[in-house]
Amino acid sequence: MPTYTYICNSCDYSFEEKLKISERNTPLKAPCFRCGEPAVSQTIKQVNVGDPVALGVKKLPEDFKRGVLDKAKRAAGAMI
């Protein structure tokens, strides 16, 4: 389940919730845990992206990429 970050617009209290995507708006309808004001909004948190080299992802050979791109372009051209 994704973790969502929320903040109270009145007292700046910030909290996180692990929720299903379909439930991500539930805290917006509830009052703030700290001050009780119904002014909670969802915030965007920094997203960490892994280093592909550190994760062991290898680069595809150029000739493979070119071959795949050429096939995709030909297929797209055939659909037009």
Task: Look at residue 34 and tell me if it is in a domain.
Answer: yes
Task: Look at residue 4 and tell me if it is in a domain.
Answer: yes
Task: Look at residue 62 and tell me if it is in a domain.
Answer: no
pLDDT in tens, the chain (80 residues): 788 999 999 999 999 999 898 999 999 999 998 999 999 999 987 666 666 666 777 777 777 777 887 888 888 776 65
Number of domains in the chain: 1
Domain of 13, in residue numbers: 1-46
Task: Look at residue 23 and tell me if it is in a domain.
Answer: yes
Sequence-ordered list of residues with C-beta below 8 angstroms from that of 31, at least 6 positions apart, any chain: 37, 38, 40
What is this structure's pTM? 0.55
* CATH number, position 21: 2.20.28
Task: Look at residue 21 and tell me if it is in a domain.
Answer: yes
Alpha-carbon span 26 to 40, nearest angstrom: 10
